[in-house]
Amino acid sequence: MRKFFIHFCAILLTTGLLQAAEKPNLIFILADDLGYGDIGAFGQEKIKTPRLDEMAGKGMKFTSFYAGSTVCAPSRCVLMTGQDTGNCWVRGNGQAEAQTLPDSDITVAEKLKEAGYATGLIGKWGLGELGSEGHPNKQGFDYSYGYLNQRHAHNFYPEFLIRNEEVVHLKNVTSPQWEEVRVASGKPKDGAGFATPDGKVEYSHDLIIEEAHEWIDRQAKADQPFFLYLALTIPHANNEAGRVLGDGQEVPDYGIYADRDWPNPDKGQAAMITRMDRDVGNIVDQIAELGIAENTLIIFTSDNGHHKEGGNDPEFFNANGPLRGMKRDLTEGGIRVPTLAYWPSVVAAGSSTDHPAGFKDWMATACELAGLDSPPKTQSVSFAPTLKGKPEEQRESDYLYWEFYEKGSRQALRFGPWKAIREPMFTGDIQLYDVTTDIGEEVDVAFENEAVVARAEELFSLAHKPNPLWRVKK
């Protein structure tokens, strides 16, 4: 019934039976496993990212922006629902029911449809398979293309992608070597793996970008605002190729890094990021050429911190910049992500903010910009005032919260200047850092701040809502 009501409201809006002021187009571009220090605007020196650096110069840098989690699926769940990992359904990279958005969840796409938006998901979803209630077309997206299964998304030369509910076969051929490994390990045939050298024909990232351009073109001709969630798959590694071949940074060519005296995985990592940089720049150019740049907000960020799963060396690139830790950690390097906002008519060029916000806040921000109320019980706080250059109107979250069930388990909080980490969850000692003066979390100041530690302990209890599918392993 709830889904029917949302669809009915969208029909009323698009037929003019409900009136609304002009609303901005929204494009949310999500890189996969891009570290805080992986682009020039955030300090990268070896990898070239001229278009993202230009975007930063013409827009706003968020220097204290946080992913929803430290791995893919829960981070995307937080982004879509506006609920942190203490409350949302998907809290880790689990399978089946544990990684499927339920019908009862309200997504940002569903909310925007209430305001008459066309909605598209292009790239990596990871929150529901074909036939499940978590499929993007059942979660508010009019159109979807790419990967549904996050493990399938490891393979950048897959045998198929999925458009809406149709399997689209590609020309790539999976390697028999991977099939042997898969069968021997008892893994399901789910599209993961890697292609033969001559079977690498269609690079999925390029197909995703091409699809995004075509979708934007179609929306620009329509008389309604649009929301594009462009969930890129690079620079994530092909984990299977990384384990078997020692190099999981799949890319058609090394580009400007081909002649560098670097190991191939490092060349691949750099080439993937520079390729992504080029393609994000082309999206920005397209919006300008269509004449809609002044009414289009583009957000660029990453789903979690950097990785080394494809054999690349993050220390060589200083991928986390001044932060400590990486993907699967709840130190800043695992969850603080490079974030840019570009909106020529609204966001001040060359601006920067240290306002602490994150994925959970996209829901409230999108709703405010679309003239909607946020869903009930959301933890989302709009950062629209910051985008509009009105810091005096910006409300700060009482806290940002994360919980993670791999590698033993851990919890983390950001509240005011403080960052608290407890591992294992519920029972470990609390570490405390002032991340406004100690961004690298080098000095634990818990001992001399007993009252702050006591407050962190209260917030840890307040933030966690039990979920039967997510329990700490004894």
Q: What is the DSSP string of 271-340?
A: HHHHHHHHHHHHHHHHHHHTT-GGGEEEEEEESS----TTS--HHHHTTTTT----TT--SHHHHB--EE
For residue 101, give the 3-state DSSP assignment.
coil
Reference 194, options 147, 149, 236, 153; nearest CA is 153
For residue 7, give the 3-state DSSP assignment.
helix
pLDDT of residue 474: 64
pLDDT of residue 238: 97
Q: Cα separation of 156 and 174, whole Å?
A: 11
Q: Cα separation of 83 and 409, whole Å?
A: 19
Which pair of structure tokens corresponds to residue 108?
């940002």
Please, what is the angle between helix 72-81 and helix 362-370, to 10°? 30
pLDDT of residue 435: 98
pTM listed for this prediction: 0.95
- Pairing state between β 430-434 and 418-422: antiparallel
* Equal fold, 2-17+25-398 vs 410-463: no
pLDDT of residue 8: 47
Q: Tell me the CATH architecture of domain 2-17+25-398.
A: 3-Layer(aba) Sandwich (3.40)
Q: Cα separation of 145 and 216, whole Å?
A: 13
* 89-120 pLDDT per residue, tens: 999 997 667 889 999 999 999 999 999 999 99
> Which residue stretches of the chain have pLDDT < 50?
1-2, 4-21
In contact, 249 and 307? CB cutoff 8 Å:
no
Q: Cα separation of 458 and 99, whole Å?
A: 28
Instruction: Please return the burial class of 184, using the count of CB atoms within 10 Å of its CB with bins 0-12, 13-18 and 19+.
Output: exposed
Q: Cα separation of 282 and 228, whole Å?
A: 15
Q: Tell me the CATH architecture of domain 410-463.
A: 2-Layer Sandwich (3.30)
Q: Where are the domains of the chain?
A: 2-17+25-398, 410-463
10 Å Cβ neighbour count for 453? 20
